[in-house]
């Protein structure tokens, strides 16, 4: 769940790169992994894990939630049963703690074999630049990962060798789970208003207007912490801006502009929703958890938010709640904000790279996806096939499957630059409160983006 910012301050990223120069087995003046950065690449791939002798495989993960831990634990046991010569030593902790430990471990002597590493620029991107992660392309070919995963999903673990381009280049991780931002809706209220589930953005806008005219609060948003606004604006943006431009902006790559007509129009619509009460009287003063809890109690007709709320909403609302992917965007593409769970990668200094790659392959098989679903998680592959037979989670699984396989998963916009979470968070609040115009906010976003890409 992307409630935590997936960026770290630029100073911290710089520190990581500096520490890399002290990694074991490297020239003190060069980063670990390779002389040019971009991670290490195995000279030869070995998939005969049983023939490697006795191995202790150290795995660091953050699969600590009730829907995560049982599945990974069972997969670990199954892997050791398949390969009796491998003993998995698992270290599991919260994601905040894990990412802090990874930054230190990759520049030290005690390096795990498998890690879950945030795929944002300031984490995975920085480690790629420092040559601290294994380039998994040879293993992707050996194990057929391109056949297992859609390119839309794999792109969020790809970087160019210099770490500057996000979404293209070599593969540095594989995820187990998916995330999708869509629109929850109150079925009973839609029926009372005589409305169908919207199929187009025009349908959605009309439904919001009808709800407001009937005295209902059209949407629910608790934006006191700023990040929830990203999950409302991101899908809306696709109604005005082509997906390739949104991807360039969200990944911090060259080739787009925040001051384009489409982006300004999207920002204007978002601001209008705020100033004219479509989110209630005070979205910027409302807590996120209180907002969705109010939706569960009957406030609002629609709730734009991520799939991570589905379990709680279904338990509180039963059959009265549904979920839809946002309608197709301006270029006809089914697209919305979303991504993957945190990918599993391999440190360049691992002593068991072949076994680590086999482990990552094992925990991302079709059988693993089914096990993840059985334990309440949303698998990143075969999502619709593993959906429950009915209910809200069925809606969510099918929506993610449609977007990830037939459409485009758009990046979380706060991935764009080390400072964009703050820049855009403030800008969205100013739009909602009517303090700034869409053009002024677009220019602030553009300044941040151009400063990062060197424009």
Half-sphere exposure of 213 (CA within 13 A, CB side): 8
pLDDT tens, residue by residue, 166-222: 999 999 999 999 999 999 999 999 999 999 999 999 999 999 999 999 999 999 999
Domain ranges of the chain: 12-177+342-382, 179-338+411-453
Q: Quick one: which of 130, 131, 129, 128 has its CA closest to 117?
A: 128
Q: How far apart are CA 442 and CA 159, in angstroms?
A: 27
At residue 38, the pLDDT reads: 56
258 and 442 Cβ atoms separated by less than 8 Å: yes
**413-434: average pLDDT:** 95
Q: How far is CA 18 from CA 15, 22, 30, 41, 395, in A?
A: 5, 8, 10, 22, 46
- Other beta carbons within 10 angstroms of residue 190's beta carbon come to 20
pLDDT at 20 over 90: no
**94-98: average pLDDT:** 87
pLDDT tens, residue by residue, 258-283: 999 999 999 999 999 999 999 999 99
pLDDT at 18 over 60: no
pLDDT at 135 over 50: yes
Q: Which residues contact 311 (CB under 8 A, 6 or more apart)?
A: 67, 376, 393
Please name the CATH architecture into which domain 179-338+411-453 falls.
Answer: 3-Layer(aba) Sandwich (3.40)
Q: How far is CA 302 from CA 39, 144, 158, 230, 292, in A?
A: 44, 40, 34, 16, 10
Q: How far apart are CA 428 and CA 270, in angstroms?
A: 8
- Do the first three CATH levels of 12-177+342-382 and 179-338+411-453 match, i.e. the same topology? yes
**432-442: average pLDDT:** 98
Q: What are phi and psi of 8, to 5 degrees?
A: -120, 160
The pTM assigned to this predicted structure is 0.83
SS (H, E, C) the chain: CCCCCCCCCHHHHHHHHHHHCCCCCCCCCCCCCCCCCCCECCCCCCCCHHHHCCEEEEEEECCCCCCCHHHHHHHHHHHHHHCCCEEEEEEECCHHHHHHHHHHHCCCCCCCCEEECCCCHHHHHHHHHCCCEECCHHHHHHHCHHHHCCHHHHHHHEECCCCCCECCCEECCECCEEEEEEEEEEHHHHHHHCCCCCCCHHHHHHHHHHHHHCCCCCECCCCCCCCHHHHHHHHHHCCCCCHHHHHHHHCCCCCCCCCCHHHHHHHHHHHHHHHCCECECCHHHCCHHHHHHHHHHCCCCEEEEEHHHHHHHHHHHHHHEEEECCCCCCCCCCEEEEEECCCEECECCCCCHHHHHHHHHHCCCHHHHHHHHHCCCCECCCCCCCCCCCCHHHHHHHHHHHHHHHCEEECCHHHCCCCHHHHHHHHHHHHHHCCCCHHHHHHHHHHHHHHHHCC
Q: How far is CA 373 from CA 92, 364, 417, in A?
A: 20, 12, 33
Task: Report the length, in residues, of the chain.
Answer: 455
At residue 99, the pLDDT reads: 87
Q: Quick one: which of 135, 143, 175, 176 has its CA closest to 159?
A: 135
Q: Quick one: which of 265, 250, 321, 196 has its CA closest to 441?
A: 265
CA 149 from centroid of its chain's CA atoms: 15
**159-165: average pLDDT:** 92
Q: Which residues contact 211 (CB under 8 A, 6 or more apart)?
A: 189, 193, 195, 217, 218, 301, 302
CA 33 from centroid of its chain's CA atoms: 26
At residue 94, the pLDDT reads: 87
Q: Band of the pLDDT at 43, cuts 50, 70, 90?
A: low
431 and 438 Cβ atoms separated by less than 8 Å: yes
Q: How far apart are CA 329 and CA 311, in angstroms?
A: 27
pLDDT at 152 over 90: no
Q: Quick one: which of 75, 70, 123 has its CA closest to 95?
A: 123
At residue 2, the pLDDT reads: 45
Name the CATH superfamily, with its identifier, for domain 12-177+342-382. Periplasmic binding protein-like II (3.40.190.10)
Half-sphere exposure of 198 (CA within 13 A, CB side): 25
Determine which of 12-26, 208-222, 301-315, 420-434 has the lowest per-residue pLDDT on average. Answer: 12-26
pLDDT at 110 over 80: yes
At residue 36, the pLDDT reads: 34
At residue 47, the pLDDT reads: 96
pLDDT at 121 over 90: no
400 and 175 Cβ atoms separated by less than 8 Å: no
Q: Band of the pLDDT at 444, cuts 50, 70, 90?
A: very high
At residue 29, the pLDDT reads: 37
């Amino acid at each position: 769940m992307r409630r935590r910012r997936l960026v770290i301050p630029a100073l911290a990223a710089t520190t990581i790169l500096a520490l890399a120069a002290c990694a074991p087995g490297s020239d003190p003046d060069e980063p670990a992994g390779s002389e040019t950065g971009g991670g290490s690449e195995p000279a030869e791939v070995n998939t005969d894990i049983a023939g490697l002798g006795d191995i202790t495989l150290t795995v660091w993960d953050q699969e600590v939630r009730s829907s995560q831990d049982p599945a990974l634990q069972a997969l670990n046991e199954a892997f050791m049963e398949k390969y009796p010569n491998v003993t998995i030593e698992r270290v599991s902790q919260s994601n905040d703690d894990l990412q802090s430990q990874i930054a230190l471990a990759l520049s030290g002597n005690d390096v795990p074999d498998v890690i879950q590493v945030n795929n944002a620029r300031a984490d995975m991107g920085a480690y790629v630049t420092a040559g601290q992660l294994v380039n998994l392309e040879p293993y992707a070919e050996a194990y057929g990962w391109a056949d297992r995963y859609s390119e839309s999903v794999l792109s969020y673990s790809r970087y160019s060798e210099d770490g500057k381009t996000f979404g293209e280049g070599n593969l540095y991780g594989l995820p187990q789970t998916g995330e999708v931002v869509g629109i929850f809706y109150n079925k009973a209220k839609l029926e009372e208003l005589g409305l169908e589930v919207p199929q187009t953005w025009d349908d959605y806008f009309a439904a919001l207007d009808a709800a407001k005219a009937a005295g209902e609060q059209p949407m629910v948003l608790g934006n006191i912490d700023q990040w929830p606004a990203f999950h409302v604006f991101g899908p809306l943006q696709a109604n005005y801006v082509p997906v390739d431009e949104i991807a360039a902006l969200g990944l911090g790559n060259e080739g787009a502009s925040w001051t384009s007509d489409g982006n300004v129009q999207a920002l204007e619509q978002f601001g209008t929703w705020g100033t004219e009460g479509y989110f209630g009287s005070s979205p910027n003063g409302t807590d996120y958890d209180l907002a969705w809890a109010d939706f569960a109690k009957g406030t609002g007709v629609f709730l734009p938010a991520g799939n991570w709320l589905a379990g709680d909403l279904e338990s509180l609302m039963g059959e009265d709640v549904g979920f839809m992917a946002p309608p197709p965007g301006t270029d006809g593409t089914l697209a919305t904000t979303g991504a993957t769970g945190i990918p599993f990668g391999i440190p360049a200094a691992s002593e068991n790279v072949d076994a680590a790659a086999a482990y990552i392959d094992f925990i991302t098989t079709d059988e693993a996806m089914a096990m993840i679903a059985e334990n309440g998680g949303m698998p990143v592959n075969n999502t619709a096939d593993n959906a429950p037979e009915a209910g809200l989670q069925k809606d969510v699984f099918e929506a993610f499957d449609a977007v990830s396989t037939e459409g485009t998963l758009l990046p979380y916009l706060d991935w764009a630059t080390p400072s964009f979470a703050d820049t855009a968070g403030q800008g969205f609040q100013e739009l909602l409160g009517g303090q700034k115009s869409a053009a002024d906010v677009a220019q602030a976003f553009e300044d941040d983006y151009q400063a990062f890409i060197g424009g």
